[in-house]
Structure 1
């Protein structure tokens, strides 16, 4: 893109989509804003329009990325129920990524709104650190605070053994939510 020239409408959305599809790491709204010479809010609106067209764009605390499926790599998902205090969140996430899984999201059941889901998308300690730094900077609350610490995570891994080991680690550390009769 030419420096200083504002990129307009559909051309800008095509540009954003092309960059997202090529990138192997998240791209922030601010980065897109600088490249297209528009405000970050315009980029947020563009992402919304692209998502409305069923483009698989995921927003994370590290930025946006395009969720492309690779035919040669099978990813297995498992949903687990967890419980812990807000202060234990970083430890829980590090425990999971250390087992070789990606924490895709967090979900809670709200009494009024039903299921509330937020993307996390962390798969290593650096990403967990960036996620936690963003939480501290924004003073954001965790969704699990709405439900006294109870929440669900979607975990992703290349095989069932890795998922089993992650669930076992959650259990061993007291983070696995098990209902008692």
Structure 2
């Protein structure tokens, strides 16, 4: 395959991300367009600056298109140890919600938000595997376990169920 240049490559990347349902890694995108992974990282930054709805997740890049069905969103405050992350995420996805992101309030940097985008136990396993492989620490370690999650679902009832499960397991920060 020939090396794709500039705008042609970025158009190719958008088309590819739009047609794939799963996240695509930067390495895979680089192979498919015959450029380096760093070129892909730069392209993604340019595309995001143009307001393309591209999300970088631990599994790769996604083109985020709002679903046609009604989606509800809620932010919850959670607190737990790093070794309880898998339990927390599994409780949430088992309730039928997607964990969109995690936010911490850092004393120096303010709000720090990272995309998670997990909606199944498989996604949770892949997310944690990626963290392990890269020796990344969860953001909650910077705030002694305190963090926020943005949850999405197709009903308020699922969000309520997810929040109740966290409450039962002692993860919810009560007012």
Question: Structure 2 CA distance, aligned partners of 1:109 and 1:178?
Answer: 17
Structure 2 residue 143 is the aligned partner of structure 1 residue 154: no
Question: Structure 2 CA distance, aligned partners of 1:73 and 1:130?
Answer: 26
Question: Structure 2 CA distance, aligned partners of 1:27 and 1:135?
Answer: 17
Long gaps (5+) in structure 2:
none
Structure 2 residue 123 is the aligned partner of structure 1 residue 121: no
The match for 2:54 is 57
Q: CA deviation at 1:21?
A: 1.2
Question: Structure 2 CA distance, aligned partners of 1:55 and 1:114?
Answer: 25
The match for 1:24 is 21
Structure 2 residue 101 is the aligned partner of structure 1 residue 99: no
Of the candidates 69, 72, 76, which is equivalent to residue 76 of structure 1? Answer: 72
Question: Structure 2 CA distance, aligned partners of 1:178 and 1:73?
Answer: 31
Secondary structure at 2:3 match in 1: coil
Question: Structure 1 CA distance, aligned partners of 2:55 and 2:41?
Answer: 12
Structure 2 residue 149 is the aligned partner of structure 1 residue 141: no
Structure 1 length as normaliser, TM-score?
A: 0.95
Structure 2 residue 39 is the aligned partner of structure 1 residue 42: yes
Deviant stretches of 4+, over 4 Å:
none
Question: Structure 2 CA distance, aligned partners of 1:74 and 1:67?
Answer: 15
Q: How many residue pairs align between the two structures?
A: 175
Question: Structure 1 CA distance, aligned partners of 2:58 and 2:7?
Answer: 26
Structure 2 length as normaliser, TM-score?
A: 0.98
